Amino acid sequence: MQFFDTHTHLDYVAESVNLSITQLVENAKHSNVTRILIVSVFAKNFVKVTACAKQAPKHLVYGLGLHPLYIQQHQTVHLDYLESLLAQQDPQCTAIAEIGLERAVETLCTPELWYKQCEYLEAQLGFAKRFNLPVNLHSRKSHDQLPVFLKKAQLSHTGVIHGFAGSYDQAKRFVDLGYKIGVGGTITYARANKTREAIRKLPLESLLLETDSPDMPVFGFQGKPNRPERLAVTFQSLCELRDESPQEIAEAIWQTSEKLFWYK
């Protein structure tokens, strides 16, 4: 079995656990995680994320994007900078990531900042369409708002709703628009009944695996920085929820992940 961690902040992992990118990749490989997508969150870490990926091009790809949690910091010049980097069409840059909508933080939902979130999301979806790249989407308490933007964008390569936590009906709405659902550490917690049930019922071909490391720790590692190798824990929980064999699950998710986020 091989695994593709489709959402990490590997630059932050390296800082939090004091290990090199090379060592983190080696550790991941020992758990059969052979491919990793590194996502960015604001303009000032574009260069670092790119440099991290360049250290292991056989195993790492990266995405550039402006995260909604930092909407107060983002400026129009950052969109211009993002566009200029995407225009270079580096084959190792395989996504617009991490972008999306944030409604769980009340201070980011004032009329002014909500408008700005929507404006930056639309701009980055436009980049995805122009440069023919998939998107890796943040969505917290915005599962009802985000599909409106995705339906309007009509992306040819769609993308994934990362770290999904929600109901089957909410997930199915994204799947019906052609998007994948990112399965992360949430399903390793027995109390996450709604999300576990959604992941159990969704079509296998609509699922991807991710760690969101160093965030979203899996059960048993609470309070510790998450790492790509712990994708195996999430995979085990997924196998317990699904009727398919572990081999069938692993192969289907590998093929979906590779098609969406690996070198074209």
162 in a known ligand binding site: yes
Whether the CA torsion 18, 19, 24, 25 is positive or negative: it is positive
30 in a known ligand binding site: no
Instruction: Tokens 């991807």: give the residue.
Output: 208
Q: Is the pLDDT of residue 264 over 80?
A: no
Which stretches does DSSP call E strand in the chain?
A: 3-8, 33-39, 60-64, 93-102, 135-140, 159-161, 180-183, 207-209
Q: In the chain, what are the domains? A: 3-261 (3.20.20.140)
- For 98-120, what is each residue's pLDDT tens digit? 999 999 999 999 999 999 999 99
Q: What's the token pair of residue 167?
A: 């109901």
- What confidence score (pLDDT) does residue 225 get? 94
Q: Determine the average pLDDT of the residues in 162-189.
A: 96
Question: Which alpha helices (DSSP H) does 102-245 contain, by range?
Answer: 111-131, 146-153, 168-176, 193-201, 231-241
- What confidence score (pLDDT) does residue 157 get? 94
Say how far apart CA 35 and CA 220 lie, in whole Å. 24
What is the side-by-side order of every strand in the sheet holding 93-102?
3-8, 33-39, 60-64, 93-102, 135-140, 159-161, 180-183, 207-209
Q: Tell me which residue of 195, 176, 174 sits closest to 185, measured CA to CA.
A: 195
Q: Tell me which residue of 253, 264, 261, 259 sits closest to 32, measured CA to CA.
A: 253
The whole-chain average pLDDT of the chain stands at 97
- What confidence score (pLDDT) does residue 207 get? 98
- For 138-173, what is each residue's pLDDT tens digit? 999 999 999 999 999 999 999 999 999 999 999 999
Q: What's the token pair of residue 161?
A: 């709703």
**Three-class secondary structure of residue 208 per DSSP:** strand
Contact between residue 95 and residue 35 where contact means Cβ atoms under 8 Å apart? no
Q: Tell me which residue of 85, 100, 17, 18 sits closest to 45, measured CA to CA.
A: 85
